[in-house]
A and B are shown apart, each in its own frame.
Chain A
Amino acid sequence: MAATREVALLVGQIHKHKPLIRCSLIIQKYCMCTGSQQPQLTHREVQRSGGIVTNKYGEPLAVELVLPKPSLKNYCADFEEELKQHEIKYAHQLAQYKKARGHLQNIIGLKQMSTLNRNRSLKNLFPSGLFEPKARPMFRKPFLKPIRSSVRTDGRPSHYLFYTSKPRYYEVMNAIALKLEHIQRYEEFMVSQGISKPSSEAMMSWADGGRPMTLKTFQKKCGHISTQDYLRFVLLLQKTVVQPYSYIHRDWINQFRRFFDRTRPPKDKKEPKIHVDEKGRQYSVAEGKKKTSLARVKLFVKGTGEVTVNGKPMVAYFPKALDREQLLSPLDVTKKLTTTDVEAEAILGGHRSQARAIRIALSKCLTVFVSEEEREMLRLAGLFKRDSRIRERKKPGQKKARKKHTWKRR
């Protein structure tokens, strides 16, 4: 351990004036070359000491050089060169960025600018009609992506499943499969002992409320993988859980599963509140969306079942019965057709999508005034769900989104 700290010291001295990231990377590389453990140094520690590591009495530690083996010299040099290039590129970008920032500040006439202000001014100076936000002009500080090597110092890959191209994924799968095998072997053994089944209390079951971890969390664990791979993982996990003796690895298996507490109400920050107007009537307000349409609904609890949309009676605003039925559904489910008043505002889009947006807002409004069961009924009826479908764009070389021009031989 002492030796590695000394290496760090050495490196700190050599690269005193260089950025910290580079320092720590070089320490890492040196340690890899020597085969010793990495020093347990944080960036802060290195920073505080100005690159010089001391013992607890403040004396500098003795230097004991352990040079890397000659065969590995080239590799380290290459890596250092690569880092250097990377750094130069970054420095160049940073200089450009600073220069441009100065120009921008001069144009706008502000000495210091927040990022929000900067983005706004950029929008004014370079207006763009491009659809994709990433394609529009932007102004951002360059970001240095750290270089990571998946190859060991002797030229071999660092992971034993490197050549599967998804090493971390197969590592997990492999581990689960091994556990499964173990559980099955254990079951065989128990049967041979004359015990056909474990007690039902000890058994794990698929219906204990646990679900396999979501694709997102699984991807965090195993890198980017496809949904198909994820499904294979789910199947394997299911097979393992269903085994009668799976409880022997209960804790280990449960790290791949998630549990949620059903008694706790769902987290919804935008849940509407109960307001009271000047006449003392209780009401709630909520918003809904569909396609481009936006709707805001005010729902009065005590009323006579009158509905207005944008100041007009519902019948006048929605001449088609199909649209009116949209508004009917949430009130019908909660049996509040004749006892509530609704004031809705809707903008943009057509009648159908406006009606749908109002429906969502209406059912959100209702949640405050109805019981838990009725809320669950609303949820099951799909009345809270925003319809995520949007208009598909037109493609160049085609008539519409999908429609093609008529084909002609010549």
Chain B
Amino acid sequence: MAASMLKNMIVGQNNIFRVIGYSFPHKKVCLNHYRCCTSIVHGNDNVRTEQDVKPRRPRVCRTTVSSPAHQTKDQIGQFYTVPEPIAKKVFTRGWLNPKLLQLFDTFNETSIMVRKPALEIIDLMKSANYKDPVIKYVIYGPQGTGKSTTLAHVAHYALEEDFMIIHVPWPKHIYQFPATYQESTYKEDRHDTLVESLKWMNSFRKLNQHHLEKLKTTKKCVWTKKDSSLEGTPITDLIEMGLDREKHIPDIVGMIIREVKKQAADLGLKVLVVVDGVNSLFQETTVKVAPGEFRPSSQIGLVQHFMKLLQNDWAGGAVLLTVDRNASKDDKRESDLPKYLLGKEGFAVLDPFIPFQTELYSEEEFHSCIEYFKERRWLQGEKGQTQRGIQQIRFLSGRNPYFVERACSAW
């Protein structure tokens, strides 16, 4: 009795705060609420038969294991809440779809489902030897099945394990509609995009402040006739210099990457390279060179630097990639398989890699998701919560995670 009363009270409170519009620690309340529910299932008020005594698995859509390192197969299909400091770093714009971020905002918490590919990658990363050449993990799958979310999930693990993270949000943005194009002073046939490089540099510095302090250059650099930086200058100084003289930023990016590749294994620095939509690195840009001929993206400075990260010639890190249909050109979007999307050239660069497929929700995952949406009141219509309504959602969404959310929003 007490339990049900408590449950009513909490649910009532929840509604009141929703109406008034106060922010409220939903997480705590809802966890309590679920504990209440489970205690009702296992409650021992009445005399029970044998069947009732058997431990039934309660329908729980959440898990309290919030660090990815400790998550196991038992947690598959359950939602975990990402701690706020990490959510601010990794579950932000550039990492995830803005629509998903909006959803986090309305739910007042950042929680994602624990799914199989992320766990597998984390397991492999745990057991990897970081003195050997880098291992490449390539994630592929249909639209809306959680490729980027898997990236963020693994990045959460990496942050907890104190990795240095080199994140390339969506390579297409580097060359698709750049603000300016500028010929490089360092090399011929190289074109730099300044604004994009500056943006990347800022976000990179924000994410890895304390790692950058360890790094120092191993080579003398001549910027102009008068100006040069000696061997052994800290990288942080270089970056600050670059912020003063924007012209040099693309070259400084190249230097940082070179230094990271060189020193990672020696310093014991673990590096995670994350690229969302790698297949766009191996394409033409939108700039016309001659009639019918476009400049290949391999002539763009930033692209050249990032491509170096994908090679096998360095140790002390892991490379985490996604292959996305939307990153390809319009005429090359027929399949989701990496070999098709990467093309011959891209495949040759990435080979060897370990592929992981993100899939549609399984039956259990789907119902767990529905439970979660019910709890968050994203699915709040009476008809939508009936068995028939859920069947309709299942049919309309085809168990595709993105479309499940869309279908639930309608009810």
Q: Which residues of A contact B (CB under 8 A)?
A: 305-307, 313-316, 321, 324-325, 328, 331-332, 335, 337-338
Q: A315-B397, A316-B142 are in contact. List 7 more A-B contacts (CB 8 A).
A: A305-B391, A316-B143, A321-B406, A321-B410, A324-B396, A332-B395, A338-B395
How long is the Cα–Cα vector from A307 to B396 in the complex, in angstroms?
A: 10
B400 at the interface (CB under 8 A from A): yes
Which residues of chain B (365-411) have a CB below 8 Å from chain A?
Answer: 388, 391-392, 394-398, 400, 403, 406-407, 410
Can you spell out 5 A-B residue pairs with CB atoms less than 8 angstroms apart?
Answer: A305-B395, A306-B398, A315-B400, A315-B403, A321-B406
Which residues of chain B (130-173) have a CB below 8 Å from chain A?
Answer: 142-144
How long is the Cα–Cα vector from A321 to B144 in the complex, in angstroms?
A: 15
How long is the Cα–Cα vector from A314 to B410 in the complex, in angstroms?
A: 18
Closest to B396 in A: A324
Smallest Cβ distance from B401 to chain A, in angstroms? Answer: 11
How long is the Cα–Cα vector from A313 to B336 in the complex, in angstroms?
A: 13
Smallest Cβ distance from B360 to chain A, in angstroms? Answer: 8
Task: Name the contact of B396 in the complex, choosing from A313, A316, A328, A338 (C-beta under 8 A).
Answer: A328
Smallest Cβ distance from A320 to chain B, in angstroms? Answer: 11
Closest to B406 in A: A321
Tell me if A337 and B398 are in contact (CB < 8 A): no
* Interfacial chain B residues near A316, Cβ < 8 Å: 142-143
Tell me if B394 and A338 are in contact (CB < 8 A): yes
Smallest Cβ distance from A377 to chain B, in angstroms? Answer: 15
How long is the Cα–Cα vector from A91 to B396 in the complex, in angstroms?
A: 68
Q: A314-B398, A315-B400 are in contact. Are A337 and B406 (CB under 8 A)?
A: no
Q: A307-B398, A313-B398, A315-B403 are in contact. Are A332 and B143 (CB under 8 A)?
A: no
Smallest Cβ distance from B328 to chain A, in angstroms? Answer: 15
* Interfacial chain B residues near A314, Cβ < 8 Å: 398
Smallest Cβ distance from A391 to chain B, in angstroms? Answer: 28
How long is the Cα–Cα vector from A305 to B391 in the complex, in angstroms?
A: 9
Tell me if B143 and A337 are in contact (CB < 8 A): no
Smallest Cβ distance from A342 to chain B, in angstroms? Answer: 10
Q: A315-B403, A316-B142 are in contact. Are A321 and B391 (CB under 8 A)?
A: no
Tell me if A328 and B142 are in contact (CB < 8 A): no
Tell me if A321 and B407 are in contact (CB < 8 A): yes
* Interfacial chain B residues near A324, Cβ < 8 Å: 395-396
Smallest Cβ distance from A323 to chain B, in angstroms? Answer: 10
Smallest Cβ distance from A243 to chain B, in angstroms? Answer: 50
How long is the Cα–Cα vector from A316 to B395 in the complex, in angstroms?
A: 13
Closest to B144 in A: A315
Tell me if A337 and B410 are in contact (CB < 8 A): no
Closest to A327 in B: B395
* Interfacial chain B residues near A332, Cβ < 8 Å: 388, 392, 395
How long is the Cα–Cα vector from A295 to B400 in the complex, in angstroms?
A: 25
Closest to A331 in B: B395
Q: A315-B403, A321-B407 are in contact. Are A305 and B143 (CB under 8 A)?
A: no
How long is the Cα–Cα vector from A313 to B394 in the complex, in angstroms?
A: 13
* Interfacial chain A residues near B388, Cβ < 8 Å: 332, 335
How long is the Cα–Cα vector from A313 to B398 in the complex, in angstroms?
A: 8
Tell me if B394 and A325 are in contact (CB < 8 A): no
Tell me if A337 and B407 are in contact (CB < 8 A): no
Smallest Cβ distance from B144 to chain A, in angstroms? Answer: 8
